Amino acid sequence: MQKTTFPLKMAVAVLSFAVIACVIGTPAPTATPVPTNTPVPPTDTPLPTATATDVPTPTATPNVAATQQAEQLQALLVELKDKGYVDTTEGNARPLDDFSQDWSDVAHYNWWTVTDQPIGDFVLTGHLNWQTASSNTNGISGCGIIFGLQDNDDFYGVFVDESRIQFTLRRGTYLYDVGVTSGNGRLKFGNPAETDLVLVVKGQKAYVNVQGDYISYTLSADQTSHGILAYTMLSSSATGYGTRCKMTNMTLWTP
User: Which sign does the torsion angle of CA 121, 123, 127, 131 carry?
Assistant: positive
Q: Provide the pLDDT for residue 192.
A: 87
What angle is formed at CA 32 by the lines to CA 28 and CA 34, rounded to 5 degrees?
140
Tell me which residue range forms the domain holding 104: 2-30+88-254
pTM, two decimals, is 0.74
pLDDT over threshold 50, residue 15: no
User: Which sign does the torsion angle of CA 213, 163, 158, 176 carry?
Assistant: positive
Q: Of 190, 222, 186, whose CA–CA distance to 204 is shortest?
A: 222
Question: 171: helix, coil or strand?
Answer: strand
pLDDT over threshold 90, residue 8: no
- Rounded alpha-carbon distances, angstroms, from residue 181 to 22, 54, 99, 201, 208: 23, 53, 30, 14, 11
Is 37 part of any domain? no
Q: Provide the pLDDT for residue 1.
A: 55
Is 60 part of any domain? no
Domain count, the chain: 1
**Per-residue pLDDT band at 142 (split at 50, 70, 90):** confident
| CA 122 to centroid of chain Cα atoms | 12
Q: Provide the pLDDT for residue 36.
A: 37
Is 218 part of any domain? yes
Taking residues 247-253, what's their average pLDDT?
Answer: 96
User: Could you count the other beta carbons within 10 Å of the beta carbon of residue 246?
Assistant: 17
Is 228 part of any domain? yes
**Per-residue pLDDT band at 30 (split at 50, 70, 90):** very low
Q: Provide the pLDDT for residue 184.
A: 83
CA distance 142 to 236: 9
pLDDT over threshold 60, residue 26: no
User: Could you count the other beta carbons within 10 Å of the beta carbon of residue 119?
Assistant: 17
Residue 196, C-beta contacts closer than 8 angstroms, at least 6 positions apart:
125, 126, 127, 128, 210
Residue 175: CATH number of its domain: 2.60.120.560
CA distance 239 to 130: 15
Is 164 part of any domain? yes
More confident residue, 143 or 17: 143
Is 185 part of any domain? yes
Q: Provide the pLDDT for residue 66.
A: 75
Is 205 part of any domain? yes
Encode pLDDT of 193-231 as tens digits.
899 999 999 999 999 999 888 999 999 999 999 999 999
Encode pLDDT of 57-104 as tens digits.
444 555 777 788 889 999 999 999 999 999 999 999 999 999 999 877
CA distance 183 to 63: 38
Is 35 part of any domain? no
Q: Provide the pLDDT for residue 7.
A: 54
